[in-house]
Structure 1
Amino acid sequence: MSYDNAGKSIAQLAVLLQSGQLDARALAEETLAAIGAYDDQTIFTRLTPERAMIEAGIAANRIRNGRSRGMLDGIPIAWKDLFDLKGITTTAGSVVLANEPPAARDAAVVAALAQAGMVCVGQVNMSEFAFSGLGLNPHYGTPRNPRSRDEARIPGGSSSGSAVAVAAGLVPVAIGTDTGGSIRIPAAFNGIVGYKSTWGRYQMDGVFPLSKTLDSLGPLCRTVQDAIWVDAAMRGLTQPSVRRAPLAGQHFVVPETVFFDDAEDGVIVAFEAALETLVKAGAIIRRQKFPVIDDIFELMRSHGPLVVAEAYALHQQRLTGPQALQMDHRVVERTRKGEAISLPQYIEILERRKQMIAQFSAQIAPNEFILTPTLPHVAPPTAPLHADDELFVKTNGKTLRNTSIGNFLNWCGVSIPCGVGNANMPIGLLVSGLAGSDDALLGLSLAVEDAIIA
């Protein structure tokens, strides 16, 4: 179903709302109707129409009376099913939590965006317990990538519904989580913007965890500017602290280790074209090998992945009880591998991680940012991955590979669409920065986006 405001950015909708050309209640009604009529009903796991209309009505009154709370007032938003919404059970994409008590209060970041005037329309689908980069969910269905035309292709995960809801034009923004790529992966697969923050940038109260060492949050939306507005409000700011940065004279480094291994030709072509565009705009780009990135994967092979160790600790009781039979067997199998990771190994992983973060940081200049393909391939067809567990595991590993490097090294990152590859499917350019460089990264990403999507 198409509707008047389908596919509009936050900025476009805000102009209409603030000028009185569009009423927040009408926008909420239109959004809920469009979601209900959309031909893929696996995107949202539950809607919140009563809450949406109350919040929209209050926003409309504020705007009409000259008391608008800013650019986000009256803007619809969807939440990944890891964020507590008051009065609703957070299921984390799993049926085993379906009978848990409803949340007593909103998650901290939900409350922050409600305070900014945003209108909650519901929760969106995800990989069960956020433990896959592909977005398949056997319980609530797998959202179809709206950019696929030849056959159903995966949405990417774990924030699958968040990306598809935006890419399909149903909402201008949805909030996701990112432990190994769960914002940047679906953003790239669906041709939208996804921002993963540095760990610790936002309050995590009321967010169901996967790995408390690696979990971070961020918006999936249509533009970098939209992400900047939402980021500020998630931190309780009334306006962004981000300043636009010029490309001319800006230094970037392209790591040649791991990121390009077995990458599709279309990905390489689109990435190199984006680099050429940035150089023409005055950017200074160099390439370097970073053995420390190889060391990350060697550590995972010898000790096990950090995320698996922490996921096993979180879900150990479920895995040893009858609830395991209700879970996606692929999630169960992957999580159970954490049992083999000993406490000394876990502690050593954490210590080695600190060393590797320092080692990489010492090899680039303080003002340098990192450019890589978000993913080595475009979104693959869904059906074979449902049918073949071996293919699922192999594809999941490859899909998570590039982005998980940033999680391990605590980078922040923005995935920006930079062209299309096989089957005319989207490709993402990932701009990353060292921990804590979020404001500079976002300001620079505005210029990158302007250059490559001109």
Structure 2
Amino acid sequence: MRRPVSGMSVAEMSMLIHSGVMSPVEIAEAVFDAIDRHADKSVFISLFRDRAMGEASAAAKRVADGRSLGLLDGIPIAWKDLFDIKGLATTAGSTVLSARAPATKDAAVVDLVRQSGMVAIGRTNMSEFAFSGIGINPHYGTPHNPKSTDVPRVSGGSSSGSAVAVAAGLVPVAIGTDTGGSIRIPAAFNGIVGYKASRGRYAMDGVFPLAKSLDCLGPLCRTVQDAIWVDVAMRGATRPEITRATDASLDIVVPENGVFDVAEPGVIEAFEAALLRLEKAGARIQRIHIPAFDAISELVKARGALVTAEAFALHRERLTGAIADQIDPRVVARIKLGEKTSMADYIDILDIRRRLTVETEDLLTGRLVAFPSVAHVAPAIDPLLADDDLFFATNGKTLRNTGFGNFLDWCGVSIPCGTGDAGMPVGLLLSGVAGDDEKLLTAALRYEDVIRG
């Protein structure tokens, strides 16, 4: 009988491999066994059994010969259905793209991770075209949140399958994309860690876009340590610059505006309890008004959202004719909102974005920002399927907090900080300005246990 590896972190699996307790082949076999046994068949869109076993065999030989590529050699990884995989069409969670020509090579970041020895297991489900924070997909099914004990609940989007694959213990890490919160939202809903890197930290070649001015990448995993290790591979670096010995004093700004509006009491309670633990651990916390948050909300009302403008430019030809009937109507409706944004409005949005980003960086003076990743816990699926108005309202509220960071080009990591309604996970979002990834990850590593409580 195979040894189970369900629920293990990257670090735990690495220890098994490099101590000789389990080989990468045994681990890959155990992962596929767990996926096969898992009741929710909507988590993965495709599996790479042949490729994975070949990569696992090569890793096993390297480790046995004393030629390991490093800590990640032989570790399983899953990829959101936006990353090119050689020989497969990239479908972006949509059936209308299934007839695309197969990719002739892996996406650049997939290739870099392969060079670290990680084993590609499969591609995970997602919101169609990555255009929802909820995670519902009418084509490939809607992954259910494995943390729910009462009713079927959403896993969050758009990296829905990636989050569930980790939270359900099927793989130790899965890579997602984040345009308005698509890593941090599902991480928060599922009680795992989700790291959205600064835009441009990773190569974007071979990644199907949503809005290029906002698109970012990052891992969903079990611990901040895992995120740091995987970040190294995604950058093509050789070793992590961040260790537990790295100094990590923590100065935090908590916004007084925007992020707590209509927040569930349980979410606020879990967040405030985590803040209190951080203060007791020596963190310095200041509550301030962040004018950019108000300005962003007013800008969207006046000129439309940047994401919808760029999504419409990308998909406008797909929204006409018979092919539009094959796309989720809710996705079509949201993308069409971008048609209302004129070129003059679009240019103004970009100019205002640059100004607000600089002004906010000056306001923060190098401090990190903390607030709830999402204002509510994962909602039930059935009411959202039955009521379009409820779906759109919930989607907007779900994306609100994380969306501020995308607009201002922040990096961010969501860390579980407690539970709210129905015992569902709550995430604390720690963010830094663009390029402050090392500072952010250093603090997150140092204070992760405190945040979790």
Return the offset for 1:450. Answer: 2.2
Aligned to 1:436: 435
Q: In structure 1, what is the Cα distance between the partners aligned to 2:321 and 2:431?
A: 41
Deviation by residue 1:265-318 (Cα, 9 ceiling, x = unmatched):
111111111001001111100000112210001001000000000000000100
One-letter code of the match for 1:242? I
Aligned to 1:415: 414
| DSSP 3-state at the match of 1:336 | helix
Q: Is the 8 A contact 1:243 1:440 kept in 2?
A: no
Aligned to 1:266: 266
Aligned to 1:163: 163
Return the offset for 1:246. Answer: 4.5
Q: 1:3 to 1:335 in 2, by over 3 A?
A: farther
Return the offset for 1:30. Answer: 1.0
Deviation by residue 1:381-435 (Cα, 9 ceiling, x = unmatched):
0011111100000000000000000000000000000000100000000000000
Return the offset for 1:36. Answer: 1.2
Aligned to 2:372: 373
CA root-mean-square deviation: 1.0
Return the offset for 1:154. Answer: 0.3
Return the offset for 1:452. Answer: 2.4
Q: Is the 8 A contact 1:3 1:34 kept in 2?
A: no
Q: In structure 2, what is the Cα distance between the partners aligned to 1:316 and 1:292?
A: 30
One-letter code of the match for 1:150? D
One-letter code of the match for 2:237? L
Deviation by residue 1:350-387 (Cα, 9 ceiling, x = unmatched):
00000000111111122x10011101000000011111
Aligned to 2:326: 326
Return the offset for 1:33. Answer: 1.5
Return the offset for 1:453. Answer: 2.9
Aligned to 2:193: 193
TM, length-normalised to structure 2: 0.98
Aligned to 1:126: 126
Q: In structure 2, what is the Cα distance between the partners aligned to 1:413 and 1:118?
A: 24
Aligned to 1:351: 351
| DSSP 3-state at the match of 1:28 | helix
Stretches of structure 1 lacking an aligned partner (at least 5 in a row)? none
Q: In structure 2, what is the Cα distance between the partners aligned to 1:246 and 1:270?
A: 27
One-letter code of the match for 1:385? L
Return the offset for 1:321. Answer: 2.5
Q: Is the 8 A contact 2:274 2:452 kept in 1?
A: no
Deviation by residue 1:198-221 (Cα, 9 ceiling, x = unmatched):
110000000000000000000000
Q: In structure 1, what is the Cα distance between the partners aligned to 2:449 and 2:247?
A: 11
Q: In structure 2, what is the Cα distance between the partners aligned to 1:343 and 1:255?
A: 32
| DSSP 3-state at the match of 1:36 | helix
Q: 1:3 to 1:147 in 2, by over 3 A?
A: farther
Aligned to 1:385: 384
Aligned to 2:293: 293
Of stretches 348-357 and 318-327 in structure 1, the one that deviates more from structure 2 is 318-327
Deviation by residue 1:167-196 (Cα, 9 ceiling, x = unmatched):
000000000000000000000000000000
Stretches of structure 2 lacking an aligned partner (at least 5 in a row)? none
Q: Is the 8 A contact 2:73 2:116 kept in 1?
A: yes
Return the offset for 1:121. Answer: 0.7
Q: In structure 1, what is the Cα distance between the partners aligned to 2:452 and 2:346?
A: 43
Aligned to 2:302: 302
TM, length-normalised to structure 1: 0.98
Q: In structure 2, what is the Cα distance between the partners aligned to 1:243 and 1:324?
A: 49
Q: In structure 2, what is the Cα distance between the partners aligned to 1:176 and 1:202?
A: 12
Q: In structure 2, what is the Cα distance between the partners aligned to 1:58 and 1:214?
A: 37
Q: In structure 2, what is the Cα distance between the partners aligned to 1:175 and 1:204?
A: 13
Return the offset for 1:3. Answer: 6.4
Q: In structure 2, what is the Cα distance between the partners aligned to 1:428 and 1:161?
A: 18
Deviation by residue 1:40-86 (Cα, 9 ceiling, x = unmatched):
00000010000000000000000000000111100000000000111
TM alignment of 1:84-163, pairs within 5 A: 84-163=84-163
Return the offset for 1:100. Answer: 1.1
Q: Is the 8 A contact 1:256 1:287 kept in 2?
A: yes
Identity %: 59
- The number of residues matched between the two structures is 451
| DSSP 3-state at the match of 2:364 | coil
TM alignment of 1:208-219, pairs within 5 A: 208-219=208-219
